[in-house]
Amino acid sequence: MKFLRPLLIVTLAALVAPAGMAQTNPSPDGEARVIVRFKPQAESVRAKAMALQATRAEAQDIAQTRATALGLRTGQALAAGLSLDERTHVVTARGLNGEQLAKRLAADPEVEFVAVDGRRKALLLPNDPLFGGATVNPQTTNPDGSAARVIDQWYLKAPGSATNPAVVSSVNAPAAWDVTTGSAGTVVAVIDTGVRRDHPDLAGRFVGGYDFIGYNAPGSAIAAAIANRPAGADLTQALDYGDWVSQADVDSGALGSGCTSADVANSSWHGTRVSGLIAAASNNGLGMAGVGWGLKLLPIRVLGKCGGYDSDIIAAMKWAVGVALPGVPANTNKAKVLNLSLGGSGSCASTDPTGSLYRQAIGQVNAAGATVVVAAGNSEGLAVGLPGNCPGVVAVTALRHVGTKVGFASLGPEVTVAAPGGNCVNTGIGQPCLYPMVSTTNSGTTTPVAADNAYTGSNGSVGTSFSAPIVSGIVGLMASVRPTLTPNEATQLLKLTARAFPTAGGTAGIAQCVAPKSTVQDECYCTTSTCGAGMVDAAAAVSAAQALNGAMVTVTQSPASGLTAGQTLTLTAAASGLVSGRSVGSTAWTIIDNGGGIVSAFVSGAASSTATIVPTAAGTFTVRADVTDNVGLVYSQTATVSVAAAPVAQPTPSGGGGGGAASALWLAGLLLAALALRRSARRG
C-alpha cells in the first residue's frame, strides 16, 4: 500500500503572449521567470560593473540596464529581479513560458547560460489519515490490546532503552549532551518557511534572519502572493505568516501554475517545526528539547504559499555564510550549518544550468567552512531530489523506530546517513501515530496564533524534512567542540561513527532496499548503497569531532603574493596535530571555484602534497586540499588565490633608418640639444 505521493518540483511555465506574437503554451501565470548568467567579458558587464556591496537601488538599476539591452537584442521586453552575484540575475518576461524564454535568451552571444527559475517545496507529508489527524484523540491501547506508549521524543534517546526496547534508530543525544549541549557561537541556518519567533520554547534561539521571498522582484504579483507578507513587514525577522493554500487560490491562478489542487492545505509552520528539532530550549520547564539547545538559529525565509524559487534558495545559501549579494544587507551572523528541508526533482549535473547554480552555491558555502544538510526527499523510495543529489551536501533519509527505511523516504547512493523520520505504518486507519517527530509548531490553521506554545503530538510531523534537522543539530554539536570543523570532516565523521543498519525487526515480509527505479519502494531494510553509511549516532560523532581538536591542514602558496596571469603557482598541503597513531595517507586537490574560467586543471600534483596550477587571466579562484589519514578520515583546507593581470610588455624602440613616432621623438630631442648648445655658446 502506498502511504504518500512523490513530492515533485513544479516549474513556472506557459504564459500569455504579447500583441503581435503567436501564443504558445499560454498560462494563467502571465510571467516567465529565468536566471541569466552573463559572460565575464560581455559588453553589458564591462560597461558598468556591479559591486557586491551595491545598494538595492544600484543593483536593481544595473541589472535592469543589462536586461533591457538583452531584451532589445532578443526582441523580448525583460524585467530584472534578484542578483545572485555580479553577473547573474533573475529575469522575467510575459507572453511565453520559462523554457521558451530560456531558449531565446541562451542564444544571445553575451549570455553564458540560462536556467528556468523553478520552484522547490517543503518536504512535508500530506495530511493522510494513515499518519493521524488533528481530530483523532490519543489512543489508550494499541491495536493489539497492549498498553499504548506515551508520545515523547523517542528519536533523541539511547537506542534500545529500557522504556523503548524496540527503538533502535534513536540518535543517543543524552550521551552527546554529556560533552556539549551546543555553543552559542555556533549558528545553524534554517532555510525554510520562516519562523514563529514568539513560540515560548524558541525564545532566545534566533540571531538575525532575512526574508528573500519576492525580494528585488518589482511588479511580480505571483512573488507577492507566494510571500503572503503584510505591507511594510520587517524582512530581517524572517517571520512565517502562514503558507496555507485554498482551492480558491489555485483556481484564481494567483500563485502561478506551480500551484495545484494537490497543494491545498492548512499552514504547515514548517520552519518552526524544523527549528524546534534543532535547537528548542531545554531545562526551561517547557515542552521539548532540541538536539543542541545551546546552538543559535539563523532563520531565512525562502518558502511561502506553494513553495519558493530556486533563485531565492540559492541566494539564501550564499547569504547564510556571509557571501555578499548585490542589493542585500550583509549577514553578520554567519552560519556553520545550513539546514534545507526542501527540494524537488531535478539534476545537479554540472551541465544542467540549475544544477550548475546549486553546485556553485554549495561550493561557496563549503569554502566558507559551512556544512549543508539536505533532506533526501519524500518520493516513496524513488531517487534523491535536487538539491539533495548535489555533491558537497549531507543528504539524509528517514528511518522508522526499528531502523528500517520509512515508506515515504527517498533513497540512493547520494544519501550520506539516515536518521529518525517518524512513522505511523504500525497503526490502522484513524489511529494516531505512535512514533511522530515531536516539535514546536503553531495551532493556527491559516494565520498564526500569537505566542502559541503548541507542539506536534500523536498527529505530529514525519518526513525526511525532520530527519535532516536532527543531523543539522548533531553537526552543530560537533562544530561546538571543534570550531574549525570542515564540511568534509563533518561528512566523514558522520559516516565513520554511524551504527550499522538492522537486518531484522521490521514489518513481516519486507525486502532489502534496492537502487531507486521508476517504481516505489516502501519500508525496506537499508543498505550502505541506498540509505547512506548507517544510522547517525550523536554521541559517537561528537566524541570523534572532539578528538580531532588540534588537527589541521595548512596550505602554503609560492609565490605567496603577487601572482600574475600566466605564472605558475605552487601549492603545498601539510597536516599537523593528527590523533595519536594516525598519519597522512594521501592528498588530493580540487578546484572548487574556477574564477569564471581563469583556471581549468592542475598542471601537476593533483594527487600529491604539492600541486601546480597556471591561471590564464586576472581574478580569484579557490582550491581545496583534502588530506586523508591512514584510517580514512579526511581533513580539508581551502585556499583562495588572487591573480593580477599579466604585465604589458613595453615596445622596444626600433634602430636604424625608417620614420615613425620613435624616430620623430629622437630628432626632436636632437634639435633641442643642438639649440641648447648654440645658446650656451652665444652666452660664452
Report the distance separating Cα 657 and Cα 117, nearest Å. 65
What number is the average pLDDT over the span 659-675? 54
pLDDT of residue 204: 94
What number is the average pLDDT over the span 512-541? 96
683 pLDDT band, cuts 50/70/90, is low
pLDDT of residue 26: 35
What number is the average pLDDT over the span 108-130? 73
Report the distance separating Cα 524 and Cα 465, nearest Å. 19
The CATH class for the domain spanning 552-643 reads: mainly beta
Q: What is the DSSP letter of 645?
A: P
What number is the average pLDDT over the span 95-117? 95
- Cell 516505489, residue? 520
Q: Is the pLDDT of residue 232 over 80?
A: yes
Length of the chain: 684
Flag the least confident range among 109-118, 128-137, 612-621, 668-677: 128-137
Task: Name every residue whose Cβ is closer than 8 Å to that of residue 426 and which is 6 or more positions away in sequence.
Answer: 434, 435, 507
31 pLDDT band, cuts 50/70/90, is confident
How many Cβ atoms from other residues are within 10 Å of residue 138's Cβ? 12
CB-based contact 363:350 (threshold 8 Å): no
What number is the average pLDDT over the span 114-118? 94
Report the distance separating Cα 608 and Cα 571, nearest Å. 10
172 pLDDT band, cuts 50/70/90, is very high
Amino acid at 655: G
Give tens-digit pLDDT for 546-578.
Answer: 988 888 899 999 999 999 999 999 999 999 988
Residue whose C-alpha is closest to residue 18's, from 10, 30, 28: 30
Report the distance separating Cα 540 and Cα 286, nearest Å. 28
pLDDT of residue 434: 78
214 pLDDT band, cuts 50/70/90, is confident
> What is the distance between the terminal CA atoms of the chain, rounded to a whole angstrom?
117
Q: At what angle are helices 353-367 and 310-320 packed, to 10 degrees?
A: 10
Q: Nine-digit cell at 206?
A: 534566533
Residue whose C-alpha is closest to residue 507's, from 523, 518, 494, 493: 523
What number is the average pLDDT over the span 89-106? 94
Q: Is the pLDDT of residue 482 over 60?
A: yes
Q: Is the pLDDT of residue 218 over 60?
A: yes
Mapped onto helix, strand or coil, the DSSP state of residue 298 is strand
Mapped onto helix, strand or coil, the DSSP state of residue 490 is helix
pLDDT of residue 18: 29
Q: Is the pLDDT of residue 123 over 90?
A: no
Report the distance separating Cα 536 and Cα 531, nearest Å. 11
Report the distance separating Cα 314 and Cα 303, nearest Å. 12
Q: Is the pLDDT of residue 25 over 60?
A: no
Two domains, one topology: 32-118 and 122-135+150-546:
no
Give tens-digit pLDDT for 47-59.
Answer: 999 999 999 999 9
CB-based contact 349:370 (threshold 8 Å): no
Give tens-digit pLDDT for 597-606.
Answer: 999 999 999 9
Q: Is the pLDDT of residue 161 over 80?
A: no
- Strand 119-122, strand 187-192: pairing: unpaired
Is the Cα torsion angle 180, 186, 189, 194 positive or negative in sign?
positive
- Cell 595519536, residue? 580
Report the distance separating Cα 644 and Cα 563, nearest Å. 6
Catalytic residue list: 192, 270, 465
Report the distance separating Cα 570 and Cα 567, nearest Å. 10
pLDDT of residue 9: 27
- Cell 518540483, residue? 9
Phi, psi dihedral angles at 393 (to 5 degrees): -115, 160
pLDDT of residue 429: 54
Question: In the CATH hierarchy, which fold is given to the domain comprising 122-135+150-546?
Answer: Rossmann fold (3.40.50)
Q: Nine-digit cell at 479?
A: 562544530
With the CA atoms of 537, 161, 164 and 181 taken in that order, what torsion angle do they form, in degrees rounded to the nearest 10?
-50
Phi, psi dihedral angles at 626 (to 5 degrees): -110, 110
Give tens-digit pLDDT for 285-310.
Answer: 788 889 999 999 999 999 999 999 99
Round the average pLDDT of the chain to a whole number and report it: 86
Q: Nine-digit cell at 658?
A: 625608417
What's the angle, vertex CA 375, arms to CA 370 and CA 379, rounded to 5? Answer: 155
Phi, psi dihedral angles at 112 (to 5 degrees): -80, -50
Highest mean pLDDT pick, 165-179, 230-244, 656-670: 230-244
215 pLDDT band, cuts 50/70/90, is confident
- Cell 551541465, residue? 351
pLDDT of residue 33: 93
Report the distance separating Cα 99 and Cα 117, nearest Å. 10
What number is the average pLDDT over the span 73-100? 94
Partnered with residue 584 across adjacent β-strands are 629
Report the distance separating Cα 168 and Cα 403, nearest Å. 6
- Cell 552573463, residue? 38
Residue whose C-alpha is closest to residue 339's, from 122, 537, 85: 122
Flag the least confident range among 96-110, 205-219, 477-491, 507-521: 205-219
What number is the average pLDDT over the span 335-352? 95
Q: Note the pTM of the prediction, 2 decimals.
A: 0.80
CB-based contact 515:498 (threshold 8 Å): no
C-alpha dist (Å) from residue 445 to 3, 267, 442, 471: 23, 6, 8, 29
Q: Nine-digit cell at 532?
A: 547512506
Q: Nine-digit cell at 303?
A: 518558502
Q: What is the DSSP letter of 62?
A: H
* Boundaries of every domain in the chain: 32-118, 122-135+150-546, 552-643
Report the distance separating Cα 323 and Cα 622, nearest Å. 14
Q: Is the pLDDT of residue 659 over 50?
A: no
What number is the average pLDDT over the span 531-555? 94
Question: In the CATH hierarchy, which fold is given to the domain comprising 32-118?
Answer: Alpha-Beta Plaits (3.30.70)
Q: What percent of the chain has pLDDT above 70?
A: 83
What number is the average pLDDT over the span 224-249? 95
pLDDT of residue 436: 86
CB-based contact 469:438 (threshold 8 Å): no
Task: Name every residue whose Cβ is closer than 8 Å to that of residue 170 and which is 6 or more positions away in sequence.
Answer: 154, 155, 156, 157, 158, 159, 161, 164, 401, 420
* Lateral strand order in the sheet of 187-192: 210-211, 296-301, 187-192, 337-340, 371-375, 393-399, 417-420
Report the distance separating Cα 441 and Cα 452, nearest Å. 8
CB-based contact 66:126 (threshold 8 Å): no
Q: What is the DSSP letter of 155?
A: G
Phi, psi dihedral angles at 603 (to 5 degrees): -70, -40
Which DSSP string corresponds to 307-370? BEEHHHHHHHHHHHTT---TTSPPPSS--SEEEE-EEBS----TTSHHHHHHHHHHHHHHHTT-
Residue whose C-alpha is closest to residue 570's, from 536, 604, 545, 541: 604
